[in-house]
């Protein structure tokens, strides 16, 4: 695990921000045991600001104390993930609405190129499955990266810092968790189109190209909600 070194603003605030980001992004996975001293060493500070940061994270129920000096990253229940996913889906819809209004031709071209790459990777996955071969991990990650890149481009096109910040805070699954679960579902026999829903992204892109903000929001929200629903409780 690599955490950033801290500089001048309040060390407790910086420690809080760094640790919260590490939990949300999956760098500190759910259930991991953590210690004040271990985190302080990773951040390059004394235990005091880390102790204050952990108090704030305890209040948010992102970490829980297991002993006088030991803690762990809190496991998030299926209900909590479902509720976070509902919020995330609504915000994804808002991002698509804003993108329909603001996206530049260059941004739209990037979205199209990413979906072209996803289509190519999905075709290779189908060929491997039809031939009775194991799914190539690099192709699984390739299609995953392409569709995640598409969503990132939509967020960039939305061009709203508050929306982006809130989305990062409420995401029910980190990138690493989404990739792990998607790969497990694919290897269990699911299709890329069904699990990653890369085909739905074409409909969203068409709405963006048409500058149809209402339709873009509706499609993006439905897409995000169905994806979260499939991931919650999938314990592969």
Q: What residue spans of 71-104 are helical by DSSP H? A: 78-102
> What integer pLDDT is reported at residue 84 of this predicted model?
80
Cα–Cα dist 134/119, whole Å: 19
pLDDT tens for 129-149 read: 777 777 677 877 888 889 889
Task: Return the CA Rg of the chain.
Answer: 20
* Band of pLDDT at residue 189, cut at 50, 70 and 90: low
* Band of pLDDT at residue 31, cut at 50, 70 and 90: confident
Instruction: State the pTM of this model.
Output: 0.69
Cα–Cα dist 64/44, whole Å: 23
For the segment 167-173, the average pLDDT, to the nearest whole number, is 74
* Band of pLDDT at residue 165, cut at 50, 70 and 90: confident
18 alpha-carbon distance from chain centroid: 17
Cα–Cα dist 111/220, whole Å: 14
Neighbour-count burial of 68, counting CB atoms closer than 10 A to its CB (0-12 exposed, 13-18 middle, 19+ buried): exposed
For the segment 20-36, the average pLDDT, to the nearest whole number, is 82
The answer to whether residue 110 scores a pLDDT higher than 80 is yes
Which carries the bigger pLDDT value, residue 188 or residue 108?
108
> What integer pLDDT is reported at residue 128 of this predicted model?
76
The helix/strand count (H/E) of the chain reads as: 11, 3
> What integer pLDDT is reported at residue 8 of this predicted model?
43
> What integer pLDDT is reported at residue 160 of this predicted model?
97
DSSP 3-state of 64: strand
DSSP 3-state of 38: helix
> What integer pLDDT is reported at residue 69 of this predicted model?
74
> What integer pLDDT is reported at residue 236 of this predicted model?
38
Most confident by average pLDDT, 19-28, 34-43, 159-168, 204-213 = 204-213
| Other Cβ atoms closer than 10 A to 190 | 14
Q: Which residue has the tokens 């001048």?
A: 8
For the residues of 163-226, what is the DSSP string, one character each?
HHHHHHHH-SS-HHHHHHHHHHHHHTT--HHHHH-HHHHHHHHHHHHTT-HHHHHHHHHHHHHH
Which carries the bigger pLDDT value, residue 216 or residue 173?
216
**Beta-bridge mates of residue 70:** 35
Tokens describing residue 181: 């679960």
pLDDT tens for 44-80 read: 999 999 999 999 988 888 899 888 778 999 876 777 7
| Alpha-carbon dihedral 102, 104, 108, 114, rounded to 10 degrees | -100
DSSP 3-state of 58: helix
Q: Which residue has the tokens 């995401």?
A: 171
Tell whether the torsion through CA atoms of 172, 176, 177 and 183 is positive or negative. positive
> What integer pLDDT is reported at residue 187 of this predicted model?
64
> What integer pLDDT is reported at residue 222 of this predicted model?
92
Cα–Cα dist 167/161, whole Å: 10
23 within 8 A of 177, measured Cβ to Cβ = no
Task: Tell me what the pLDDT averaged over the chain comes to.
Answer: 83
> What integer pLDDT is reported at residue 188 of this predicted model?
62
């Amino acid at each position: 695990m690599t955490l950033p070194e801290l500089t001048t603003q309040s060390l407790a605030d910086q420690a809080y921000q760094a640790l919260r980001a590490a939990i949300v992004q999956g760098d500190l996975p759910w259930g991991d045991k953590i210690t004040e001293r271990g985190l302080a060493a990773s951040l390059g500070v004394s235990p005091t600001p880390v102790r204050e940061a952990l108090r704030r994270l305890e209040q948010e129920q992102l970490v829980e104390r297991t002993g006088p000096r030991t803690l762990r990253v809190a496991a998030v229940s299926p209900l909590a993930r479902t509720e976070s996913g509902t919020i995330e889906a609504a915000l994804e819809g808002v991002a698509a609405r804003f993108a329909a209004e603001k996206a530049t031709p260059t941004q739209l071209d990037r979205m199209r190129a990413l979906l072209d790459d996803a289509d190519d990777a999905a075709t290779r996955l189908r060929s491997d499955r039809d031939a009775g071969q194991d799914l190539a991990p690099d192709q699984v990650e390739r299609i995953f990266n392409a569709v995640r890149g598409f969503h990132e481009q939509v967020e960039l096109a939305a061009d709203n810092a508050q929306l982006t910040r809130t989305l990062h805070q409420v995401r029910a699954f980190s990138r690493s968790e989404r990739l792990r679960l998607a790969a497990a579902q694919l290897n269990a026999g699911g299709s890329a189109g069904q699990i990653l829903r890369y085909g739905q992204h074409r409909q969203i892109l068409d709405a963006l190209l048409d500058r149809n903000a209402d339709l873009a929001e509706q499609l993006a929200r439905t897409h995000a909600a169905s994806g979260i629903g499939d991931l919650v409780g999938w314990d592969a």
